[in-house]
Structure 1
């Protein structure tokens, strides 16, 4: 419970918290842009792409600031797994987004 109180205290966010908030805000903003498309497939890919990019950014923040070896390994795994999906969605959108 003490940890939860710490999160909700009135202190100024530190560098790590600012990085996480910035990455989350950008991810949500860019995910919402994907909803502009009428085609469900394009909207899905255009929204999921920033979601995956956001996961990579959060994992990079974990690697920069985190200390727990298991979470650092998870962050590395997330980066590796998301990169191929990011590449697939980018390529898919290049060929399908122009057909709108």
Structure 2
């Protein structure tokens, strides 16, 4: 993306462009976010990840690290699918809606691959 600093910031990943920070970092404080009046589109977007966070965190506790990684990625991917569905339901921009559909297609395929691995090789870990 031209003009946006997407330089890596250590193990935390990429630094978001300034436009992504314009909400005053409300998402960093879930209680503050819940107290702030949001429209249905934003509530659906937040719920997309929130409902999968507990499963993701619990899955990380599986003893075998490979299995823990794969198990925690399934709800992580499902959260992305849920967020993409919120975009499809509420979004206006065709590029963003197309990206949301790409996310759904890719993440559903990867979830199926991860479940297959868990039922096969992962079960033997």
Q: TM-score, normalised by structure 2?
A: 0.66
Distance change >3 Å, CA 11–CA 52, structure 1 → 2: closer
* Contact 2:84 2:104 (8 Å CA) reproduced: yes
Distance 1:30 1:62 in 2: 23
* Larger relative contact order, structure 1 or 2 (CA cutoff 8 Å, min sep 6): 1
Distance 2:104 2:70 in 1: 18
Offset of residue 94 of structure 1? 2.5
List alignment gaps of at least 5 residues for structure 2: 1-18, 27-31
Q: Are 1:19 and 2:38 counterparts?
A: no
- Pick from 68, 83, 86 the counterpart of residue 111 of structure 2: 86
Q: Report the equivalent of 1:67.
A: 92
Task: Please state whether the residue corresponding to 2:60 is helix, strand or coil.
Answer: helix
List alignment gaps of at least 5 residues for structure 1: none
Aligned residues between the structures: 98
Higher helix share: 1
Q: Are 1:48 and 2:88 counterparts?
A: no
